[in-house]
Structure 1
Amino acid sequence: MDVSLKEDKVNLDVTKKDGSTVTLTPSEDSAKTEDEKKDEQEVKQEEKKEEKKEETAKADSSNKSNTSESKKNNTASTTNTSSNKNNTSSSSEPNNSSNNSGTSKPSNNSSSNSNSSKPAEHTHNWVAQYKTVNVPEKGHNEQVLVQAAYDEQVPITEMQEFSICNQCGADITGNTQWHLEQSYLNGGNCGGYHSEWREVVTGYKTVHHDAVYETRYVVDSPATTKQELTGYKCSSCGKTKAN
């Protein structure tokens, strides 16, 4: 937009959509038609759209350059990996020229055959081993009651003299004369007597008898046998190990 001052008045140069330029004076500007105002708004909108397109294009250009740079890095990494693989394969492959010259190198097949021919590692199957142990009888001695305690009435005796009739054998101690007279009066034949010493109980005394015990062996647990673990033995190879 071009602005020029002339005779204290402001002239406005407006570029239309079709590319033509129109110079407006203040009086003319106030007398603009509705179509011209619309043209001005459209021009402003077009300018804003152009600015947005430029910003979008710059952002896309920046993203593309970053993407291109990352692709280059990935390509370089892939190239390095491929190069390492080639170097590895070339180093692992036997040299034909050296084979032709007569140098003998073990082949990979023989190495793999030797590895496959190794016996599998043995796994022990441990089986518990036991022995029979005799367990002796266990018991103890204890006092067993044979006779309970009790009290006994024991008679007290003494020897006394008795007068015995010779004919009838009656005890006439203290009545010897009366016995003989009565026998005579009654037609008996008792005519004499003799003395005898006899044991006579005169009383009793209490005698205490203590309980009677005897020692007897009492079995607490009878003799038996048990299985005692002694170790382990492999059922395959026969190797043993301690408990």
Structure 2
Amino acid sequence: MFNDKKKKIVLIVVLILVMIIVGVSLDSCSNSMKEDQITHKTTTKQKSKSQLTSKGKNEKKDEQEVKQEETAKVDSSNKSNTSESKKENTTATTNTSSNKNNSSSSSSKPSSKPSSSSSNNSGTNNSSSNSNSSKPAEHTHNWVAVTETRTVVDQPAYDEQVPVTEMREHEICNQCGADLTGLDIDAHFKNSYFNGGNCGGFHSEWREEVTGYQTVHHDAVTHIETVTTGYRCSTCGATK
């Protein structure tokens, strides 16, 4: 019994030691993982900083190149303007010299009337420009439906002949059912006897008889409907 207790105690101690060793190893693993993550973050941050600095340098280079191109364009435009001004000065000097020559020649010759063709051309140009400027803007029609109401006949009017009835008394033979009203009843019985019949009595019945006709007028059955007959512009009044 004492040995069994010792064995159990030894096993418990061994298990406790194993658990402590496993815990220490897990802690070391987690610490190493955290260090790896921290190093990875720092490296990514350094990369992003280097990328940003390289981008900033490239952007500065691009701005400098754009400024250089703009200054070059301004210089070329200034040079072209100076050359044009020189050309205008030369043409002005030539025009003054030609005007002097013309004035000298005109003093020796009689003055001529100004040509009317230039004035006519200017008038036509002004009229054409005025006509072009005075053209009205294109009109867009606003079409509105034009409707009217119509009476549609579903059933036309008609007259009906209604019979007029009256209850009247009739004499009816009891044996053969013949209507003996207004006839000689005895003669009917005798003829029946000679012909092998057995008619010998009658009775009275009240029957409905048509005594005439009455005219009854029936009005037409109609309804009103709206019909579209066309379209009209609400602004200019055009129709289609």
Q: Which has the larger radius of gyration?
A: 1
Point out the structure with the larger helix share. Answer: 2
Scaled by the length of structure 2, the TM-score of the pair is 0.33
Point out the structure with the larger strand share. Answer: 1
